[in-house]
Amino acid sequence: MSEKIKISIIVGTRPNLIKVSPLVRKIKEDESIDMQFINTGQHYDYELDEIFIKELNIPKPVFLNVGSGTQGKQTGEALIKIEKELIEFKPDVSVVIGDTNSTLAGALASTKLHIPVAHIEAGLRSFDRKMPEEINRIVVDHISDILFVPTENAVKNLKNEGIGDEKIFFVHDISVDACLQNYEIAKKSEILKKMNINNNFVLVTLHRQENVDNKENLCNILDALLEISKGKGVVFPIHPRTLKNLKAFGIFEKYSENLRFIKPLGYFDFLKLIGSSSCIVTDSGGVQKEALILKTPCVTARTTTEWTETTDMNANVLVGTDKEKIIEEVSRRSSKEFHEFMEKTENPYGDGKTSERILRNIKNMALLKKYR
Ligand code: UD1
Ligand code: UDP
């Protein structure tokens, strides 16, 4: 039997890579661990994948080339390919993160091979079962053995679903580690100069299927942004799903004259833009939190959020796809007074040491499994 602890880390998308990076770097430095790092390839464009491996200084994962497809095809292919890797490596524990189809496939493949599963970012709920992410979260939480939970609300959600205390570890949120560690580097980014912009701009990201696969919803949000662009710049690093739909709906040209569509950015440039913008419009989970951490007001084009602390504190507001509300909230939140309010907010998501707490617990779990 190998003396080292064997840990498989399974990711597949941009946010998975970003969030897992502080943990992966720590594991790499730990000589008692043999790590298998698997990337399903759910995201495969350079701007959604490799750029983060380079910037975040993490080892190149085994790339499974799963690619895009329907929910079933993508999850199924990832399941088959992950299973093969796990059978070869025989880890003592698998680690999955977040709520993507790759997270679900990784957890399912592992548990069926009787490999204990650790789920990072467990317990979040939007209570909207139309979202594929909500289904993924519920299933992964219920088949995992150790749940690393980011917030007290998430602890409550798990307890309400009957999950035992012994599985729940309240460690705060690992994305704070990633954000704080990288913002120091991001501050030096030249992106503002390169784009020739000052701070008077709104930063936008949109990719949720309920917003961007539906022409009416997408146009409502973009019409609001067009209106906003009369007074300030609108910078929109555009997710490939959204770009594809803008073209398919035949509306790319209508908006591209006044909204500044650019390719998705690397993490450093993107964090610099979050920290410099006057307001953010997004439907991203991660961006809502990063906005709060970097004290930038946020307007969220959704009707629910898993990150309810951001809205409870009024650092963030849910506006759905309501054009007038988007315009009104962006205007209100871009004001000097609102920025002064944001300066006084405190980040409720942790101290940036979540990855240390997670690693300690994963090692204990792996040792238990190994010498059981
Ligand atoms: C996925 C996650 C979502 C997460 C998001 C992060 C699920 C169900 N969804 O959504 O939770 O917030 O990633 O960005 O797991 N595409 C490309 N190049 C790529 C990747 C995708 O062109 O590298 C295009 C394809 O047309 C694809 C579409 O984007 O069909 C959607 O990609 P997919 O991974 O299925 O979902 P996301 O919207 O990225
Ligand atoms: N992000 C980035 N470049 C971009 C847009 C987003 O680096 O052009 C980062 C962002 O800072 C956050 C993560 O990607 O850490 C969020 O990913 P996404 O919005 O795709 O997924 P979600 O968080 O909604 O699951």
Residue 168 and residue 142: Cα distance in Å, rounded?
Answer: 11
What's the mean pLDDT in 182-192? 96
Distance 287 CA to ligand 2 centre (A): 6
Residue 112 Cα to ligand 2 middle (Å): 31
Q: Which helix (H) or strand (E) holds 117?
A: strand 117-120
238 lines ligand 2 (CB under 6 A): no
pLDDT tens for each residue of 333-347: 999 999 999 999 999
Q: Is the pLDDT of residue 5 over 70?
A: yes
Q: Which residues of 60-91 are buried (b: 16+ CB within 10 A; e: fewer)?
A: ebbebebeeeeeeebbebbbebbbebbeebeb
HSE, side-chain direction, 13 A CA sphere, residue 355: 20
Q: Is 290 in the pocket of ligand 2 (CB under 6 A)?
A: yes
Banded model confidence at residue 367, pLDDT cuts 50, 70, 90: confident
Confidence grade of residue 369 (pLDDT, cut at 50, 70, 90): confident
- As annotated, the active-site residues are 207
The answer on pLDDT for 259 being more than 70 is: yes
Mean pLDDT score, 160-167: 97
What pTM value is reported for the model?
A: 0.97
Q: What is the pLDDT of residue 370?
A: 74
Q: What is the per-residue pLDDT for 1?
A: 57
pLDDT of the residue at 371: 74
Whether 5-172+353-371 shares its CATH topology with 183-343 is answered yes
pLDDT at 215 over 60: yes
For residue 18, the ligand 2 atom closest to its alpha carbon is 15
CA separation for the pair 308, 156 (Å, rounded):
13
- CA–CA distance, 210 with 361 (Å, rounded to integer): 37
CA 199 to chain centre: 25
Atom of ligand 1 nearest to the CA of 99: 11
The yes/no answer on whether domain 183-343 falls in CATH 3.40.50.2000 is yes
In this predicted structure, what is the pLDDT of residue 228?
98
Q: What is the pLDDT of residue 87?
A: 98
Confidence of residue 368 (pLDDT cuts 50, 70, 90): confident
Strand order in the sheet with 5-11: 62-63, 33-39, 5-11, 93-97, 117-120, 146-149, 168-170
Tell me if 18 CB under 6 Å of ligand 2.
Answer: yes
What percent of the chain shows pLDDT beyond 90?
A: 97
Ligand number nearest CA of 63 is 1
How far is the centre of ligand 2, averaged over its atoms, from the C-alpha of 368 (Å)?
Answer: 35
Site to substitute for ligand 2 among 284, 289, 304, 305, most atoms within 8 A of C-beta:
284
Residue spans per domain, the chain: 5-172+353-371, 183-343
What is the DSSP track for 298-360? EEESSS--S-HHHHHTTSEEE-TT-HHHHHHHHHHHTSHHHHHHHHH---TT--S-HHHHHHH
CA dist 126 and 361 (Å) reads: 27
Give the C-alpha separation, 291 to 340, whole Å: 14
Residue nearest atom 24 of ligand 2, based on CA coordinates: 284
Higher pLDDT, 41 or 371: 41
pLDDT, tens digit, 9 for 90 and up, residues 89-111: 999 999 999 999 999 999 999 99
Q: How far is the CA of 368 from the centre of ligand 1 (A)?
A: 36
Among protein residues, the one whose CA lies closest to atom 13 of ligand 2? 15
210's tokens: 């309920």
**211, 312 contact by CB (below 8 A):** no
Domain 5-172+353-371 = CATH 3.40.50.2000: yes
pLDDT in the model for residue 2:
64
